Amino acid sequence: ITVNVDNTLAKVQPNMWGVFFEDINFGADGGIYAELIKNRSFEFAKPLMGWTVKRAKPNEGDLLVVNRKEVNTANPRYLQVNNNQEGLSITNEGFKGIGVKKGLRYDFSVMYRQSAAHVKLRLQLINAKNEVIAEGSLAPEKTGSEWHKQSVSFTATATEPKAKFSIAFEGKGKIDLDMISLFPGDTWKNRPQGLRADMVQLLADMKPGFIRFPGGCIVEGTDLANRYQWKKTIGPIENRQLLMNRWNVEFAHRPAPDYYQSFGLGFFEYFQLAEDIGSDALPILNCGMACQFNTGEVAAMDELDPYVQDALDLIEFANGDVTTKWGKMRADLGHPKPFNLKMMGVGNENWGPQYLERLAVFTKAIKAKYPDFKIINSSGTDPEGERFNLLNTSLRANNADFIDEHYYRPADWFLKNAGRYDNYPRNGSKVFVGEYAVHADKSLTGPDKSNWQSALASASLMTGLERNADVVQMASYAPLFAHVDAWQWAPDMIWVDNLESYGTPDYYVQKLFSTNKGTDVVPITLENKNIIGQDGLYASSVIDKNTKELIIKIANNADKSQDIAFNLNGKTRLKAKGTVEELANANLGQINTFQNPKAVSPQKSTVNVKDKKIKIALKPYSFTVIKVPF
Ligand code: AHR
């Protein structure tokens, strides 16, 4: 194998390898958004879903869910407690139970309104054996007709993956309650009511070039009324109007009747998350079309203005200075500096003439105001079909900045398509592979697992994306997160339960690419040909002009070890020692688990460079990254 170290073929975009975030599989509510109380403001379709009520004897009117939708459309319901007997309590089951860690602080808060301060709240976290493992109390202090917020913290004495949270009412009297909230004290950057630190850390470790959000199909919604609207996701959390999650429907592989979006993780938090982990923000907005797999509802062309305005206002929200309406809003939310948004997607998986005509309106309006702003166009879900080809041709003819391709396919499709972009036009529209994942051989580990077969096939295809970095300028695996007790779609990159999280083999492949992205693609060939499946090998190579390194990536899909000699051609003087990170497993069905989270994870070693050659034995079924400084 020959690597030509001096010969730049293409530039690698600094944001080439990113992540795709969607609130699917309890990725946000019940996942990265660390709120532990399900249905905290009683807005689920069934107002007491997630709550059970205990009382000594039936007593009419002791608990009322009051609806004030005429005066508060964003947060219509609250709970009215008329505590006129002993033993009244409400208990929340959490999303799939509540994860509690011994020694950790828990932060409770509630909004309340009362005319006299008689009722106290006794707060308890209770484990599966019905033992109290954390306890606190809160005596709401303020009285009058206004709502107030009060907080109290307490510490857990034991660990429990599936606790419940109970509020017992003490003292006779009446009180209104809303936004009943409990957060762990170890959120990311210790932000109050923030994100789960372990999950964010897994992302931060990947150093992703961008974060695509908020989806996925939830952008589109089952119908337009249930589409994602970013303006409803910013500002005080009690004003963020809850929505049924689009994955709370029959179409989902595992319908979750209790799946709603509280938007505690809203657009401001997404931008903040992107900034925290050094990624570009890549929001995807609804283009006036609901999910074509569901209702397929479309906004009338003469009613598209609000949709387009949302896109224009989002750019102002992210980048405008404080003299602009939306720039001021961002500053008021605590971020006076712009977020430096450079791109957005218009539409998720939308297609057909309806899409093209709506997209044209968005593009004209956005480019008129922000000529350099990049717009990502959707190309649907069918990477080989006629629909894809027709749409792609039109998008290219219209000079789309980026075309978003999605593919969920078996491993052999990925291997066959590792050369997919070699013959794409080099000029004009660039490709964003916005969603992809190998759906691995069912006989190995079942259809729901990202195993070593799927990760190795992804890695093989990704060498083709990297080789074509002049055409494919961004890529993100999907979906990102899944909760073990609440997933609708699989495979997924990172699995979580209420306490822990781990990366699948695909996570480590993604991480190896994004932390070894380089700056320039250089040729790597076998007998003068790109390495696309000869002897089961797939390879790409980059140099990093910043860190001064040559980086070779090579996947061995053969069931045998292969001795490889890399000839390093060129004038660049390479150092005598390099490093190796290797993912390997003789069993393609190997998965990572909570018990063994690093079964497939990179092993480090070193390699010598002698006479401009590297000799290495590639393990059977392996993916290897070799780095040599110069
Ligand atoms: O990633 C899961 C889903 O797959 C996304 O929501 C959608 O865009 C695609 O069909």
Task: Give the mean pLDDT of 498-513.
Answer: 98
- How far is 149 from 35, CA to CA, in rounded Å? 16
Q: Cα(218)–Cα(479) distance, rounded to whole angstroms?
A: 12
Whether the CB of 219 sits within 6 Å of ligand 1: no
Taking only the tens place, the pLDDT of each residue in 451-478 is 999 999 999 999 999 999 999 999 999 9
Calculate the alpha carbon distances from 467 to 431, 457, 473 in Å: 13, 16, 11
Query: What pLDDT is attached to residue 116?
Result: 97
Range with lowest mean pLDDT among 51-60, 84-93, 592-601: 51-60
Q: Indicate if 349 belongs to the active site.
A: yes
Taking 90 as the threshold, does the pLDDT of residue 370 lie above it?
A: yes
End-to-end C-alpha distance for the chain, whole angstroms: 19
CB of 215 within 6 A of ligand 1: the answer is yes
- pLDDT on residue 161: 98
DSSP class per residue in 156-222:
-SS-EEEEEEEEEEESSEEEEEEEEEEEES-BGGG-TT-BBHHHHHHHHHH--SEEEES-SHHHH-S
- The per-residue b/e assignment along 475-502, b for 16 or more CB within 10 angstroms, e otherwise, is bbbbbbbbbebbbbbbbbbbbbbbbebb
| Composition of the chain by helix, strand, coil, percent to 5 | 20, 35, 45
With 70 as the cut, is the pLDDT of residue 424 above it?
yes
| CA–centroid distance, residue 216 to ligand 1 (Å) | 5
- The neighbour count for residue 598, using CB atoms within 10 Å, is 12
Cα–Cα separations (whole angstroms), residue 580 to 205, 470, 512, 523, 603: 18, 26, 11, 20, 8
Q: What is the pLDDT of residue 596?
A: 97
Find the range with the poorest average confidence among 48-52, 85-89, 272-276, 284-288. 85-89
Q: What is the CA radius of gyration of the chain?
A: 26
Please state the rounded mean pLDDT for residues 29-49: 97
The domain defined by 11-34+188-521 carries CATH number 3.20.20.80: yes
Question: Are the CB atoms for 467 and 554 separated by under 8 Å?
Answer: no
Choice from 23, 382, 489, 506 to test ligand 1 binding pocket (greatest atom count within 8 A of CB): 489
Instruction: Convert the pLDDT of each residue in 262-295 to its tens digit.
Output: 999 999 999 999 999 999 999 999 999 999 888 8
Which residue's structure tokens are 């070193």? 606
| Binding site membership of 478 for ligand 1 (Cβ less than 6 Å) | yes
Atom of ligand 1 nearest to the CA of 246: 6
Residue with tokens 């372990």: 198
Given a cut of 90, whether residue 93 has pLDDT beyond it is: yes
Nearest Cα neighbor of 549 from 511, 526, 525, 581 is 581
Tell me: pLDDT of 251 over 70: no
- Check whether 597 has a pLDDT greater than 70: yes
Residue 418 has pLDDT above 90, yes or no: yes
Protein residue closest via CA to atom 3 of ligand 1: 216
Q: Report the phi/psi class of residue 570: left, alpha or beta, with left for phi > 0 and alpha for psi in -120 to 50.
A: left
437 lines ligand 1 (CB under 6 A): no
Is residue 528 packed enough to be buried (19+ CB in 10 Å), middle (13-18) or exposed (0-12)? exposed
Same CATH topology for 11-34+188-521 and 51-184: the answer is no
Indicate if the pLDDT at residue 479 is higher than 90.
yes
CA 169 to CA 175: how far, in whole Å?
10
Query: Which atom, in ligand 1's list, is nearest to the CA of 349?
Result: 8
Structure confidence at residue 328 (pLDDT): 98
Tokens 């990102």 belong to 480
pLDDT tens for each residue of 381-403: 888 889 899 999 999 999 999 99
Both structure tokens of 141 = 């202090």
Write down the pLDDT at residue 347: 97
Tokens at 61, concatenated? 């009117």
Query: Is 114 touching ligand 1 by the criterion CB < 6 Å?
Result: no
- Measured CA to CA, the distance from residue 117 to residue 60 in angstroms comes to 22
CATH of 51-184, one of 2.60.120.200, 2.60.120.260, 3.40.640.10, 3.40.50.720: 2.60.120.260
pLDDT score recorded for residue 440: 83
Please compute the mean of the pLDDT values over residues 323-348 and round it to a whole number: 98
Q: Which pLDDT band holds residue 514 (cuts at 50, 70, 90)? A: very high
Q: Which of 248, 287, 349, 404 to mutate to test the pocket of ligand 1 (most atoms within 8 A of CB)?
A: 349
Task: Find residue 577's DSSP bridge partners.
Answer: 608
Q: What is the ipTM of this complex?
A: 0.99
Q: Tell me, using a 6 A CB cutoff, whether residue 348 lines ligand 1.
A: yes
**Overall average pLDDT of the 153-177 stretch:** 98
pLDDT band at 252 (very low <50, low <70, confident <90, very high): low
Report percent pLDDT > 90 for the chain: 92
493 lines ligand 1 (CB under 6 A): no
| Alpha carbons 110 and 611: distance in angstroms, whole number | 70
**If we measure between CA atoms, which residue out of 529, 330, 538 comes closest to residue 418?**
538
Has residue 238 got a pLDDT over 80? yes
Catalytic: which of 43, 93, 269, 349? Answer: 349
Q: Which residue has the least CA distance to atom 2 on ligand 1?
A: 479
Residue 447 has pLDDT above 80, yes or no: no
SS3 467: helix
User: Does the structure show a pLDDT above 80 at 130?
Assistant: yes
CA of 240 to the centre of ligand 1 (A): 24
Residue 515 has pLDDT above 80, yes or no: yes
Q: Are 555 and 628 in contact (CB under 8 A)?
A: no
Q: Domain residues of the chain, as ranges?
A: 11-34+188-521, 51-184
Rounded to the nearest integer, the mean pLDDT of the chain is 96
The preferred substitution site among 408, 439, 493 for testing ligand 1, maximizing ligand atoms within 8 Å of CB, is 408
Residue 250 pLDDT greater than 70, yes or no: no
CA-CA-CA-CA dihedral for 483, 487, 493, 496, to nearest 10: 10
| Distance of CA 583 from the midpoint of ligand 1 (Å) | 27
Q: How far is the CA of 282 from the centre of ligand 1 (A)?
A: 16
Looking at residue 446, its pLDDT comes to 66
